């Protein structure tokens, strides 16, 4: 069975703290009619610091969509390869062992996708398949895991590389002054993550089942307005309440495996904000400690979009608390409103064992 191995994570060198963010909001939006509300919301995101690919003064300049696209390409080519190498090392594989690359990113656009460049420059076989995913937002981390699982079920000996490259700071729009936009300015961070799903062997989460669920008539709750200035993030105020309709979907997927979603050993979920995690605790009836990995990602890196699930999973590996056979849930949430869900059991078998 397919095993999701330990992810590799990298965050850029420029740091902005919550205090920095609050002070910037006061300076830039001193005359905003809802500034006090914005400041209160930022204070309660749970985010202590975030990492950026550029100094904050460069982020605030916004030189234009074409210039930002050039930065996206330059920075992704500079930062992704090292993360990929570490993910391959942690899975005890080499580039030529990979049969499919799933690349997810909602913060920049390239055609051909970065997958083509990776294949040409990092020793992957020319026969390596490619799946770029650009429009599932934060849910794409879960989608990447699920598409890798599907591929390994079709081709049991195959290995899949997952790459999430999110430079959320390139989506900053100085003219977007709605409360949701200003809150987003204090929530999102930049990161690159990668992991390997091995068709056979490996240590990590043995993938058992996956599923997807879309909340009807919510496609405009999380969206981009695409303009000459780039991607303008739009966030509906109802989004924080989406766990109430999504919790039954999580339970339904678990029940298909004859599991109880409220009685699992580990939970790796997208940390879009503290209320998401608080509501999941309530609706799944699990203690707050169950989401400690996701909360740590949110606190230390902010919302890093599709990379959240992989970073939270890496933290579980680092904690080294999982035991063979323990059962868990992985889930990403994003535009649609879409949930991408996976069930897995921990397997500590050495690489090479089926």
* Catalytic positions: 138
Question: In terms of Cα–Cα distance, which of 157, 251, 269, 146 is closest to 202?
Answer: 157
Annotate 169-190 with b (16+ C-beta within 10 A) or e (fewer). bbbbbeebeebbbbbbbbbbbb
65, burial (CB in 10 Å: exposed 0-12, middle 13-18, buried 19+): middle
Looking at residue 309, what DSSP letter applies?
Answer: H
Helix axis angle for 308-319 and 140-154, nearest 10°, is 80
Give the CA distances from residue 46 to residues 169, 187, 236, in Å, rounded to whole numbers and listed in that order. Answer: 18, 9, 19
> Which residues are CB-contacts of 20 (< 8 A; sequence separation ≥ 6)?
56
Kind plus residue range of the DSSP H or E element containing 180: helix 179-184
Residue 6 and residue 298: Cα distance in Å, rounded? Answer: 19
30, burial (CB in 10 Å: exposed 0-12, middle 13-18, buried 19+): exposed
Is 313:128 a contact under the CB 8 Å cutoff?
Answer: no
């Amino acid at each position: 069975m397919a095993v999701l191995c330990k992810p590799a994570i990298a965050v850029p060198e420029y740091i902005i703290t919550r205090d920095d963010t609050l002070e910037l909001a006061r300076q830039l939006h001193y005359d905003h009619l809802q500034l006090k509300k914005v400041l209160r919301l930022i204070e309660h995101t749970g985010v202590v610091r975030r990492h950026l690919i550029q100094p904050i003064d460069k982020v605030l300049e916004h030189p234009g969509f074409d210039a930002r696209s050039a930065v996206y390409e330059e920075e992704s080519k500079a930062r992704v390869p090292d993360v990929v190498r570490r993910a391959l090392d942690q899975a005890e594989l080499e580039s030529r062992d990979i049969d499919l690359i799933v690349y997810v990113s909602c913060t920049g656009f390239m055609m051909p996708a970065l997958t083509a460049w990776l294949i040409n420059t990092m020793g992957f076989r020319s026969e390596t398949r490619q799946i770029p995913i650009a429009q599932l937002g934060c849910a794409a981390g879960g989608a990447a895991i699920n598409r890798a699982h599907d591929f390994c079920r079709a081709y049991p000996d195959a290995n899949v590389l997952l790459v999430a490259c999110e430079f959320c700071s390139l989506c900053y729009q100085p003219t977007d002054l709605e409360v949701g936009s200003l809150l987003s300015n204090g929530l999102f961070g930049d990161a690159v993550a990668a992991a390997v799903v091995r068709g056979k062997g490996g240590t990590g989460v043995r993938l058992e089942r996956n599923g997807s669920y879309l909340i009807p008539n919510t496609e405009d709750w999380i969206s981009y307005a695409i303009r000459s200035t780039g991607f303008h993030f739009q966030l509906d105020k109802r989004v924080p309440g989406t766990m109430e309709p999504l919790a039954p979907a999580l339970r339904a997927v678990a029940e298909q495996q004859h599991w109880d979603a409220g009685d699992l050993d580990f939970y790796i979920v997208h940390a879009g904000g503290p209320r998401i995690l608080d509501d999941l605790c309530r609706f799944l009836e699990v203690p707050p400690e169950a989401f400690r990995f996701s909360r740590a990602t949110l606190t230390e890196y902010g919302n890093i979009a599709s990379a959240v699930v992989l970073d939270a999973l890496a933290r579980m590996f680092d904690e080294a608390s999982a035991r063979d056979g323990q059962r868990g849930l992985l889930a990403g949430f994003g535009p649609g409103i879409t949930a991408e869900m996976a069930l897995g059991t921990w397997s500590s078998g050495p690489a090479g064992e089926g």
